Amino acid sequence: MSAEEIAGSWFRYFPEHYLWSQIMCSEINLAPLGGTSFYEVDQIGKRLQDKVGDGEAWHDAWLDMADKVLALAEAEEKKGHARTAAGAYVRSAIYRFTCERFVHPEDPRKAASYREMLPHYEKGMKLQTPGFERVEVPYEEGPLPAWWIPPLNPTGNDPAIAFFDGLDASKEFTVLWGGRFLSERGIGVLCVDGPGQGETLRLGKIPSRPDYEVPGTAAFDYLDAREGVDSSRIGVMAMSMGGYYAPRIAAFEHRYAACLTWGAHFDYHEVWLHRRKVLEAGGTVSSSAIWQLPWVLGMPDMDAAMEKCRAYTLDGVAENIRMPICITHGEDDNIVPVDMAHRLYAACGSLEKELKIFRVEDGGSQHCCFDNLSMCGNWIADWWMDRFGTGG
């Protein structure tokens, strides 16, 4: 089966455009997690049906819905309807983040959109989640902003996980994708924007680095010092591009008790060689616009970014992993070939390692299971629950 045939084996809102469909599918999958409403996302999609590939039309449609839902949140809050308002605040923030997906980093609207949505997201989450708070992880280039989600029923000596995101998302999404599932199982979660991610990139102007054990160590130190956290049960996980970050952290910061990759990587440069060819040829089977990689890596252009990207490999690194590790991947992942997961598993030096390939019959098989986030998020949270013995 060809890549395009596999790409067509899941619900594609815009059949002719993989990337737009991928994002739409992810947004729809956020509905049961409280991040979106299917009706609202569908209304945006209907508005875009005859404008597929138009980044400005995308921006305007998502922004208009963000404003509409924010107005709803504010009106309901004035009525004293706190729960209704909370959900609307979170949804409006997610829509405002999504509107800037195809806005170039040099356009001031990108940072402004993100800055504007942060207080709305925080207000909504605090109304919904007891103990939810904004924290900062001390780091050499400037603090790493994060959301802390405490265990649902804290004991005073609970496990915790440092959860990094990937190339395109932010900590606001990881809270919804996995943070809440983990909290429900008695595990505290630090959803952190590391270098080259979310707020740290947009507002802090801190790009990614290949030696991700440095921010990984910073996150461990923060959790280790936090009251109520069991220092012997601190884990690390990351998704998408984080499938490079988490194993890299595990290979050098051995104080973590375990590691999980939500989507695997082995050679990020190799992956981008293919993506670049697709994008420059006008294809849409990718995770981002072509300017995303230089921006995330802090490089002036694509050639320079590709050169820096050579250092993002786990060849000769994965052998240093000693802790238990779980490597997950979608069998039909068009963005990162499933072979990357098998290569990471084979190279990993841990004596206790698990490879979980999600297939169509499992309920989702695409990149990071964006086609069934609830299924994958629950599976991953259960893996951590079993690992840490919380029995949530």
pLDDT in tens, 199-242: 999 999 999 999 999 999 999 999 999 999 999 999 999 999 99
Q: What is the model's pLDDT at position 108?
A: 97
Token pair recorded at residue 287: 């995770």
Q: Which three-class secondary structure string do you get for 190-205?
A: EEECCCCCHHHHHCCC
Better pLDDT: 281 or 383: 383
Q: Residue 68 pLDDT > 70, yes or no?
A: yes
Structure-token match 């207080």, residue found: 119
Task: Give me the amino acid identity at 387.
Answer: R
The region of weakest confidence among 57-66, 114-123, 185-194, 281-290 is 281-290
Structure tokens at 131: 């103990």
Phi, psi of 283 (to 5 degrees): -75, 165
Rounded distance between C-alpha atoms, residue 88 and residue 5, angstroms: 37
Neighbouring residues of 300: CB distance < 8 A, sequence distance ≥ 6? 294
- Does the pLDDT value for residue 295 go beyond 60? yes
Q: Measure the CA–CA gap between 181 and 368, rounded to whole angstroms.
A: 16
Contact 194, 212 (CB under 8 A): yes
Greater pLDDT, 283 or 371: 371
Q: Is the pLDDT of residue 4 over 80?
A: no
Q: At what angle do helices 373-388 and 18-29 cross, to 10 degrees?
A: 60
Contact 152, 355 (CB under 8 A): no
- pLDDT of residue 331 exceeding 90: yes
Q: How confident is the model at residue 312 (pLDDT cuts 50, 70, 90)?
A: very high
Higher-confidence residue of 287 and 346: namely 346
Average pLDDT, whole number, for the chain? 95
**CA 331 centroid distance within chain:** 19
Sign of CA dihedral 268, 271, 273, 276: negative
User: Is the model's pLDDT at 157 over the cut of 50?
Assistant: yes
CATH architecture of 131-392: 3-Layer(aba) Sandwich (3.40)
Residues carrying CATH 3.40.50.1820, the chain: 131-392
Give 9's pLDDT tier (boundaries 50, 70, 90): low
pLDDT at residue 379 greater than cutoff 90:
yes
- For residue 287, what pLDDT is reported? 81
Low-confidence winner among 1-5, 84-88, 217-221, 352-356 (lowest mean pLDDT): 1-5
pLDDT tier at 1 (50, 70, 90 boundaries)?
A: very low
CB-side neighbour CA atoms (13 Å) of 322: 6
Burial of 48 (C-beta count, 10 Å sphere; 0-12/13-18/19+): buried
State yes or no: pLDDT of 65 exceeds 50. Answer: yes
Across the range 163-186, mean pLDDT stands at: 97
- pLDDT tens string 133-156: 999 999 999 999 999 999 999 999
Architecture of domain 1-128: Up-down Bundle (1.20)
CATH 1.20.1440.110 in the chain, residue ranges: 1-128
Alpha helices in the chain (DSSP H): 3-7, 18-29, 38-48, 55-78, 82-99, 108-128, 171-174, 180-184, 198-202, 213-225, 242-252, 268-280, 292-297, 302-309, 339-347, 373-388
Q: Could you report the per-residue pLDDT of 183-198, keeping only the tens digit for each?
A: 999 999 999 999 999 9
Q: Give 3-state DSSP helix, strand, coil % of the chain, rounded to 5.
A: 50, 15, 35
Cβ atoms within 10 A of the Cβ of 132, count? Answer: 19
CB 309 within 8 A of CB 281: no
**Residue 310 — pLDDT band, cuts 50, 70, 90?**
very high
What's the token pair of residue 17? 């455009």
Q: Other C-beta atoms within 10 Å of 130: how many? A: 11
Q: What is the largest CA-CA distance in the chain?
A: 59
pLDDT tens digits for range 240-275: 999 999 999 999 999 999 999 999 999 999 999 999
Could you tell me the pTM of the whole model? 0.95
Name the band, by pLDDT with cuts 50, 70 and 90, for residue 392.
low
Q: How far apart are the first and last CA of the chain?
A: 41
pLDDT for 280: 86
The answer on pLDDT for 7 being more than 80 is: no
Query: What mean pLDDT comes out for the span 21-40?
Result: 96
The answer to whether 374 and 363 are in contact (CB under 8 A) is: no
